[in-house]
Amino acid sequence: MPNTELQTAPEADNEDYALSKKLVAGVLYALEAQDRHTLIELTEPLHPADIADLLEQISPLDRRRLVQLYGEEFDGDILSELDDGLREEVMAVLKPDVLAEAVRDLESDDIVDIVEDLDEPAQEAILETLEDADRVAVEQALSYPENTAGRLMQRETVCAPEHWTVGEASDYLRSAEELPEQFYHVILVDPRMKPVGNVTLGKLMSSHRDLPLTKVVEELFQVIPATQDEEDVAYAFNQYHLISAPVVDEDERLVGVITIDDAMVVLDEEHEEDILRMAGVSDEASLSDTILDAAKGRATWLFVNLLTAILASGVINLFADTVDQMVALAVLMPIVASMGGNAGTQTMTVTVRALATKDLTAQNAWRVIRREVSVGALNGALFGLIMAGVAGVWFGVPMLALVIAVAMFLTQIAAALGGILIPMTLERMNVDPALASGPFVTTVTDVVGFFLFLGLSAHMLL
């Protein structure tokens, strides 16, 4: 489709792409005044992703006002760009006919992304408003398991028989009635529709018309099974610098294509999930969650942490008599536990990352474990010595200095072991190792730290 309008850089008062203060203030003013004309004028130059950000940043009340004032101007792409949590909220405010119209304009993979999280009746309501071809495409995508290549791919592909020449392929493209909005390769297929190679459009445009396509295929060619986990898809794109890759069904027949921009979105989401999970936050948390939702999303892990903290307190309670006889132990014991918790978190984070990037495998596991334990021993020795000095000067009891040094040394080693073995075990059990978050590793370090420090004190000091 010819298009003469140039959309320019987003409104921003700096170079870093954040929405400008002036713009947001103007929009809020327009909402207050119910001034539809100004609202549309202000948001017209914005990319749908920026309008989605705007919706995420304003209050729930202003959000509702904006969607209502927007009316039929509401663009389907804004829905695609919204956080999952907010999307349902916004869709509930949209009038049914505006919603239907907004969704109808989207590409099938974006529609899948929007409807897959809805409940059955809401999903049905949207599917019914689609044109037949789109509805079939969306339904077929939904037949693949969640978070797989089949859900991620676009079904519209550009392919050519493997025996064609550059000229034949070029003529085909020029005469094709409808081509996908974005595509980067012509996929060569054999007579059974099995993809056998990719030709870039640049190669196609610059090569001689008589050359067979098989002479200009890309060196690297990666085919993705439709049932592959989207996390692995993103990994493949990142690892092999893919731009687009054909997706095949179990009979190796071409069923769709995934492009790098979709893979980049998945990579970003997977990172977000990891980072939130490691901190013990529900991985769908977003700033626009209500207070109650946010509190719930964090309470689960706080509850797990409470149980493990009580367990650690139980260890202290075992040595209540010891602590009662020497209050310096109560003063110093949090240092042993805190240093252990920190070292454990460091090792755990490195391990979770290494598992995600497939740098930690069965082949090098033992070497990495040995390395982590050695690192723990080195830092344990260093900080044990420092703390021996501090405790010696502070409380003037040489034996206490020795006890804290030994306890810290051993706790750092335990922290290293916990930090690497817990995520590795979870990975083996097919549980996301990022769930080896705070609570698990710090339980190990707290329990070991308190037990060693107070246990050694009970035997050596009193």
Least CB distance to its own copies at residue 24 (A): 5
CB 348 within 8 A of CB 416: no
Q: Between 35 and 56, name the residue whose CB sits nearer to its own copies.
A: 56
Q: Between 119 and 321, name the residue whose CB sits nearer to its own copies.
A: 321
Q: Report DSSP state, residue 207.
A: S
Least CB distance to its own copies at residue 210 (A): 12
Which of 368, 436, 388, 381 shows the shortest CA–CA distance to 410?
Answer: 381
Q: Between 55 and 127, name the residue whose CB sits nearer to its own copies.
A: 55
Least CB distance to its own copies at residue 135 (A): 25
Q: Where are the beta strands (DSSP E) in 53-135?
A: none
Least CB distance to its own copies at residue 121 (A): 31
Which of 148, 168, 147 shows the shortest CA–CA distance to 255?
Answer: 148
Q: How far is residue 135's CA from residue 140's CA, in Å, rounded to a whole number? A: 8
Least CB distance to its own copies at residue 347 (A): 8
Least CB distance to its own copies at residue 94 (A): 22
Residue with tokens 């409104």: 11
- How distant is the alpha carbon of residue 171 from its chain centre? 41
Amino acid letter for position 59: S
Kindly report the number of other CB atoms within 10 A of residue 405's CB atom. 22
Q: Between 121 and 366, name the residue whose CB sits nearer to its own copies.
A: 366
Q: Between 118 and 377, name the residue whose CB sits nearer to its own copies.
A: 377
Least CB distance to its own copies at residue 139 (A): 25
- How distant is the alpha carbon of residue 350 from its chain centre? 17
CB 48 within 8 A of CB 80: yes
Least CB distance to its own copies at residue 379 (A): 5
Q: Between 117 and 289, name the residue whose CB sits nearer to its own copies.
A: 289
- Residue 75 is encoded by which pair of tokens? 């663009």
Kindly report the number of other CB atoms within 10 A of residue 381's CB atom. 15
Least CB distance to its own copies at residue 293 (A): 9
Residue with tokens 């067979």: 212
Q: How far is residue 434's CA from residue 438's CA, in Å, rounded to a whole number? A: 10
Q: How far is residue 242's CA from residue 91's CA, in Å, rounded to a whole number? A: 35
Rg (CA), the chain: 29
Least CB distance to its own copies at residue 193 (A): 17
CB 308 within 8 A of CB 439: yes
Q: Between 143 and 374, name the residue whose CB sits nearer to its own copies.
A: 374
Q: Between 327 and 399, name the residue whose CB sits nearer to its own copies.
A: 327
Q: Between 100 and 328, name the residue whose CB sits nearer to its own copies.
A: 328
Give bridge partners of residue 364 from the DSSP assignment: none
| Number of residues in the chain | 462
Residue with tokens 């327009």: 30
Angle in degrees, 0-180, between the axes of helices 438-460 and 398-428, rounded to the nearest 10: 150
Q: Where are the beta strands (DSSP E) in 125-194?
A: 159-161, 185-189
Q: Between 139 and 168, name the residue whose CB sits nearer to its own copies.
A: 168
